[in-house]
């Protein structure tokens, strides 16, 4: 098993090889060993990727510098793979679970319950912080784990509140640990790594890309029994996480607000569409009490 996990970590870093490709490899070779003996043509045929990407993948498979970098990263970070016993059980059933996760901080947070995702707009209104204090702070004080994406706005507020009250928080990033985005959140990143847990499915030296952020949202929602939206505009990227949560069979909660500001329009639409309206922390506690017996993986 140790050899399989090492191959999986390496293959995931090879240019042009996707999670879909790796699932295909697992299907006909559970050891992931055969790929290392394939010729360029065999690699092209078996992975069904363009030839220019095949060449890059082939070079990475035999790149000793890359292998050395992985060994160095194993010394500095937690690395979880889907074949490991301590891989988060809540993520295994979701659609397209991450095959490799890099972590900094306290991995035991992945086994804590209840865990809730707290998300929202990057440009919050003046109501946002009072809403978070009113609803999320009581949860933090009762040892709920707060998951978010360390983005500007609501995400950062949620993490900061958890840290301020010595609570538990997990940040899921849209890039590697060496390229924190936004840059002003580097101190927050360090604080979460010290007192909480930071996760990313991207290797540490991977710069963030636009499509990484919606991609990581499935992990944010997947780690939690429910997703709480504090504020969202009508066309907010926050709604991507909501869609992921619904697809995963997770609960979706929304906080109402003043109807004349744009930051509440997304939440109001979600409530009209069936999301549970949240007035205060007790609403979430009651829901968790009703769900906890079914929340086991």
Which pLDDT score, from 0 to 100, does residue 237 have? 81
Looking at residue 294, what is its pLDDT?
A: 79
Note the pLDDT of residue 81.
97
DSSP secondary structure letter of residue 123: S
Count other C-beta atoms under 10 Å from residue 197's C-beta: 24
Determine the pLDDT at residue 296: 60
Give dist(CA 144, CA 224) in Å, integer: 11
Q: What are the angstrom distances between the C-alpha of 83 and each of 7, 98, 270?
A: 11, 11, 36
Going residue by residue through the chain, which has 297 residues, state the pLDDT in tens, using 9 for 90 and above: 789 999 999 999 999 999 999 998 998 899 999 999 999 999 988 888 888 889 999 999 999 999 999 999 999 999 999 999 999 999 999 999 999 999 999 999 999 999 999 999 999 999 999 999 999 999 999 999 999 999 999 999 999 999 999 999 999 999 999 999 999 999 999 999 999 999 999 999 999 999 999 999 999 999 999 999 999 998 888 888 888 998 999 999 999 999 999 999 999 999 999 999 999 999 999 999 999 887 765
Distance, in Å, from the CA atom of 204 to the CA atom of 142, rounded to the nearest integer, reads 33
Domain ranges of the chain: 2-76, 104-294
For residue 235, the model assigns a pLDDT of: 83
* Token duo for residue 83: 């074949």
Positive or negative CA dihedral for 184, 185, 189, 191?
A: positive
Torsion of CA 200, 203, 205, 210, to 10 degrees: -60
pTM listed for this prediction: 0.95
Question: Please, what is the end-to-end C-alpha distance for the chain in angstroms?
Answer: 22
CATH 3.40.50.450 fits 104-294, yes or no: yes
């Amino acid at each position: 098993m140790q050899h399989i996990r090492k191959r999986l970590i390496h293959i995931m870093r090879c240019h042009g090889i996707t999670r879909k490709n790796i699932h295909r490899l697992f299907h006909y070779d559970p050891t992931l060993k055969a790929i290392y003996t394939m010729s360029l043509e065999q690699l092209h045929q078996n992975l069904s990727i363009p030839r220019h990407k095949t060449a890059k993948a082939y070079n990475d498979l035999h790149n000793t510098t890359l292998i050395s970098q992985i060994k160095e990263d194993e010394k500095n970070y937690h690395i979880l793979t889907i074949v490991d016993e301590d891989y988060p059980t809540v993520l295994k059933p979701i659609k397209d679970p991450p095959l490799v996760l890099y972590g900094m901080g306290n991995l035991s947070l992945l086994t804590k319950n209840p865990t809730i995702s707290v998300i929202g707009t990057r440009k919050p209104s003046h109501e946002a912080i009072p809403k978070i204090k009113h609803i999320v702070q009581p949860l933090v004080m009762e040892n709920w784990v707060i998951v978010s994406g360390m983005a500007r706005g609501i995400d950062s507020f949620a993490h900061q509140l958890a840290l301020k009250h010595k609570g538990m928080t997990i940040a899921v990033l849209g890039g590697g640990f060496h390229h924190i985005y936004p840059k002003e959140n580097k101190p927050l990143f360090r604080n979460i790594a010290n007192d909480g847990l930071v996760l990313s499915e991207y290797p540490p030296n991977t710069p963030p890309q636009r499509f990484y952020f919606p991609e990581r949202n499935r992990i944010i929602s997947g780690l939690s029994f429910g997703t709480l939206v504090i504020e969202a505009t009508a066309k907010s990227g926050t709604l991507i996480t909501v869609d992921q949560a619904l697809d995963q069979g997770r609960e979706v909660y929304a906080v109402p607000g003043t109807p004349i500001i744009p930051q509440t329009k997304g939440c109001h639409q979600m409530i009209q569409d069936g999301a549970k309206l949240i007035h205060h922390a007790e609403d979430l506690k009651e829901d968790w009490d009703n769900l906890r017996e079914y929340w086991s993986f």
